[in-house]
Structure formats: C-alpha cells, structure tokens
Amino acid sequence: MSKSKGNGIDPVDIIEQYGTDAMRYVLCDMQTGSQDIRLPVTAVCPSCDHHNDLSEAKTGKSVFIRICGKCKAEFDILGTIPDLPRGRLISERFDTGRAFCTKLWNSVRFALMNLDVPEPVAAKPVVREALALEDRWILDGLNETVKAVHAGLADYNRARPWARRATSSGARSATGTWSW
C-alpha cells in the first residue's frame, strides 16, 4: 500500500466496515516482523456500492480517481477532489477478524445472559476441586492462555504472532468452538 499511489487504506474506513477490534486482531495476525504484507484493497463505489478491485480498476484523470466497473461512475479514493464523491477503500482480509470478534462477543454474551447472578458480587477464592469438571476445564484453558501470553511477552519475537494464536486458541477452548 502506498499513499502516493492512492491505494492506502484509511483506518476509519476499516473501523466503520469491520469494527475496531477486528482491525486490531487482523493487524496483530498479519504482522511478520520484517516482511512486507500483501493486503488486497477494494474500492467501494459511492454510487452503486460495487466493490472494485483496486489493482484492476481503471483510473480517471488522476491516480486518485477511479471508474466503477459496474456503473462507470467516477469517484475519488483519497477524498481530496471536491467535485467527486469519495469511495471507501477496504480489504476483505478483515472479515476473519470480524468473524472472530463476533463469535467471542456472542459466546460471552450467551454466558452472561445465562448466569444466575442478580448483581455483581465480590470475587471469592475458588477451591479447584470443588468446581465441576467443565469449570475446571475452562479454567485450565484460561491458565494455559495466560502462560502462553506471558511467555510470549518475556521472549518477544515479532516474527511469531504468539498473542493472536494464544488468545484465539484460548477463546476457542473456553467456548467449546473449535471451528473458528
């Protein structure tokens, strides 16, 4: 992506389309340390909402003007030309982040809706042996996730997406969803 070539994505467009947490998750997932990352960019036509592949979309009078492949309308991808509507730049690579965050949100919401606690209560020490088997299983998964994140922080290696792997596998284990 390059601002001068007009194919850089505005983070606000990503947040509006996919959400803040999805963007954070995918950016952590994509980081490789020192290698460049390919991010397919799509320009959304403001006239017809058609998704135009930025690498294939025809340019208009400048590199920042694109012509929609469906309705043939011109639009500005940078938002600096006053006479043209602004098209949003997005990347469908953020769908995975939105899917992960949605599943996590729905799982936690389901659990909180089904807890039989009328008001928040102060935390009490828990005796592990007194817990049901499934509760111990969930706590073991949480403890493994915490250990993995602490180990990753202690021996930080930018080339390994340790935080994303630890949190997503921990969330899958805790919610019983292995198909994420």
pLDDT in tens, 65-94: 999 999 999 999 888 888 999 998 888 889
Dihedral sign, CA of 111, 117, 120, 122?
Answer: negative
Residue type, 168: S
- pLDDT tens per residue across span 48-62: 999 999 888 899 988
- Beta bridge pairs of residue 86: 76
